[in-house]
Structure 1
Amino acid sequence: MDDRTTLLRPPPPDPSKAPIENVLEVTELAVLGPDIFTNARKPWHPPGARGIYGGAVIAMCLAAGQRTVPDDFNVHSLHAYFLLAGSGQLPILFHVERVRDGRSFATRTVQARQKGRCIFTTTISFVREGSSGKPGSQASHSSPMPRGGGGDDDDDGQQPLRPPPDDFDGEPELIKQGPFQSDRIEIVNRDSAHAHEKKTRQWFRARGRIAGGPPAHLAALAYVSDSYFIGTVSRIHRLWRFPFNAKEYDDLPADVKTKVRTLHEWEGLGSDPRDMVGQPVVGMMVSLDHSIYFHEPGKVRADEWMLNEMESPWAGDGRGVVTQKIFSKDGTLIATCVQEGIIRLKEEAKLEEGKGSKL
């Protein structure tokens, strides 16, 4: 019996494409019906997570939907719900429904299914290039690139943030995985007593050079938009997320302590995990929904440095909401994202019993 985790035998990686393009490749299955696609390769299941990485499902749904619209239509918004944890051991079928095709806009719904069950659903809207009229003939504004640091040449003592150098190689070995490269997370206003006043910032880019044109860049942006997203709530509240009590850190094997310290510092939480002793502990953290507004589709270059800035306007009742702005390296706001997720803290009694984390 063939126990492959994809419906078709995975093709060898295409060296002419960036790693993210190979990760997100979908194949049309015309033999099963119109507008049905499947993943070409096994999706990533993050260690300790309930299911496969949500950003991969978002991006592959977008890739499938893009295959059903004319070339001069670009995605401008995507609204999705995570319904069930996806398995990395089962193929995914992406069913695209052509809801509407107009002169200026086209709408698609895409369902991702495993074993006949819908694990993820999204509605995607596309707009035809140039359909809004000539440049300069519409109302227009945009949030500017965040500022930070210091400088004598600015009245406010701050300068627009600058990306890492093109030859950046500052990731720890533990972080050098996957199709995206990133710098460490910075927490702004980290000493504020109010979580809603804090923000996180991080530079990131796809590894290699993307060869597939605008659709590939947009799918790559969708993929990375889910990275560290709902986890923003845990960072601004300084919640402990590892599957052991923070006060047990000193008793860990040396190699495990190094990994924990590296991840803790990379997420902007400081250099010493022991500072988290006594902090609340995450019992469950799961994304519920995800929205992306693509403001400048033609300017997205996912293989060049981009900056995200995340903040949370609200958390309560076991849930949290996070907003994200994504800027190109020249300061253009290219996307705004919103996500809501489940954020449940571990009860103190269960924490003392040493029960394992659900993450």
Structure 2
Amino acid sequence: MAEKTDRSTLLRPPPPDPNKAPIENVLEVTELAVLGPNIFTNARKPWHPPGARGIYGGAVIAMCLAAAQRTVSDDFFVHSCHCYFLLAGSSEQPILFHVEQVRDGRSFATRTVQARQRGRCIFTTTISFVRDGSSGSPGTQVSHSSAMPADVVPPPDDYDAEPEMMRQGPFQGTKIEVVSPPAGTGAIGEKKTRQWVRARGKIAGGAAAHLEALAYVSDSYFIGTITRIHKLWRFPFAPEEYEGMAPDLKERVRTLHAWEGMGEDPRDMIGQPTIGMMVSLDHTIYFHEPKRVLADEWMLTEMESPWAGDGRAVVTQKIFAKDGTLLATCVQEGLVRLQQPKQEGAKESKL
């Protein structure tokens, strides 16, 4: 029997560079000049989260940004990125990133990037860059910024409290905290989730690599904020089944449930609605302080949802540096459908 060939990349994946942080190796893209100008591909197999419809969206966002940054000069920094998730990406197929140089001005440059698999566009983004210093000196500009919550403290540099099952990715983080509004108001739209995150290792690739890392982590737990503030069950089995599980599986479910800010006991979710489908539709990042992004140092993500309805929800996110600098603001809209009682003869719904 012939040995199965890995087709997740067009070229043989290079060995991980030990001089780079894990996230830099994950997001490496390779230019394919033989196919035409400004065409890139993933150097390594992209991650497919367990139970997800496709590959992790943050990786596609970040690799599109990596490709686009290769087409602008070093004195241009990304300030906005507007993305649409069109089709679920496969981790078994290579991705081609087609960069179009839409405009190159004295102060701003614009790029569109299409991520394509099997000739179909799975993701598209428009990215705008601004030339460093083109807006004048700081004292001559309008300036303000949201403040980081006063009651938060970053973890110590030697933080090592992650459960073993959460230590696999290129980012590490703390347990998600759900902050509720004052007692008695009951306003779901006022709830917030908070988590500290940072890239593992030390990023060696300069400002561009730090910005790509921030783009990657900006999609982590994003639309899932809805499950936390609405207390929605998300596992592929009923909470009533938890008690009868094997001890090791039971502990894994309990650990993940608590880590994601859902509470310490999954049995408390009995009677709560269950998520039937949750898919990101679009994603926007505004990079406020691109030169101050240090993704291998602790950053605070704070998320909340101003609206949900008609099968969709919007979540906003602020990302702060540990010194309180507001680094980025992100917005995501996603499809959110609750599990409906099955009717005999009904067909499975499709997007």
TM-score by shorter chain over 0.5: yes
Give deviations 1:287-332, integer Å, cap 9, x for gaps.
Answer: 0000000000000000000000000000001000000000000000
Give the C-alpha shift of residue 2 in structure 1. 4.4
* Separation of aligned partners in 1, 2:38 and 2:197: 33
Matched, 1:211 2:204: yes
Amino acid at match of 1:345: L
Matched, 1:78 2:69: no
Q: 1:335 aligns with which of 303, 320, 328?
A: 328
Match of 2:51 in 1: 48
SS in 2 for 1:147: coil
Which range is displaced more, 250-259 or 42-51?
250-259
Matches within 5 A, 1:135-174: 135-148=138-151, 161-174=152-165
Amino acid at match of 1:55: G
* Separation of aligned partners in 2, 1:202 and 1:252: 29
Amino acid at match of 2:12: R
SS in 2 for 1:174: helix
Q: 1:240 aligns with which of 233, 237, 260?
A: 233
Matched, 1:271 2:274: no
Give the C-alpha shift of residue 197 in structure 1. 1.1
Match of 2:216 in 1: 223
SS in 2 for 1:38: strand
Amino acid at match of 1:311: E
Matched, 1:283 2:276: yes
* Separation of aligned partners in 2, 1:3 and 1:229: 31
Give the C-alpha shift of residue 3 in structure 1. 3.7
Match of 2:195 in 1: 202
Identity between Structure 1 and Structure 2 (%):
76
Give deviations 1:182-201, integer Å, cap 9, x for gaps.
Answer: 00000001765221010000
* Separation of aligned partners in 2, 1:282 and 1:193: 21
Amino acid at match of 2:237: F
* Separation of aligned partners in 2, 1:323 and 1:5: 33
Q: Normalising by the residue count of structure 1, what TM-score does the alignment of the two structures yield?
A: 0.93
Give deviations 1:153-173, integer Å, cap 9, x for gaps.
Answer: xxxxxxxx2100000000000
* Separation of aligned partners in 2, 1:33 and 1:270: 52
* Separation of aligned partners in 2, 1:288 and 1:315: 14
Q: Normalising by the residue count of structure 2, what TM-score does the alignment of the two structures yield?
A: 0.95
Give deviations 1:1-41, integer Å, cap 9, x for gaps.
Answer: 84431000000000000000000000000000000000000
Match of 1:15 in 2: 18
Amino acid at match of 2:305: S
Match of 1:308 in 2: 301
Match of 1:324 in 2: 317
Match of 1:117 in 2: 120
Which range is displaced more, 277-286 or 189-198?
189-198
Match of 1:108 in 2: 111
SS in 2 for 1:242: coil
* Separation of aligned partners in 2, 1:3 and 1:313: 43
Match of 1:257 in 2: 250
Amino acid at match of 1:11: P
SS in 2 for 1:76: strand
* Separation of aligned partners in 2, 1:340 and 1:147: 28
Q: 2:179 aligns with which of 159, 183, 188?
A: 188
Give deviations 1:58-110, integer Å, cap 9, x for gaps.
Answer: 00000000000001000000000000000000000000000000000000000
* Separation of aligned partners in 1, 2:98 and 2:88: 18
Match of 1:4 in 2: 7
Q: 1:346 aligns with which of 309, 334, 339?
A: 339
Give the C-alpha shift of residue 346 in structure 1. 0.3
Give the C-alpha shift of residue 177 in structure 1. 1.3
Match of 1:66 in 2: 69
SS in 2 for 1:136: helix
Amino acid at match of 2:118: K
Amino acid at match of 2:171: F
Give the C-alpha shift of residue 348 in structure 1. 3.1
Amino acid at match of 2:179: V
**Structure 1 unaligned residues grouped into runs of 5+:** 149-160
Give the C-alpha shift of residue 147 in structure 1. 2.2
Matched, 1:179 2:170: yes
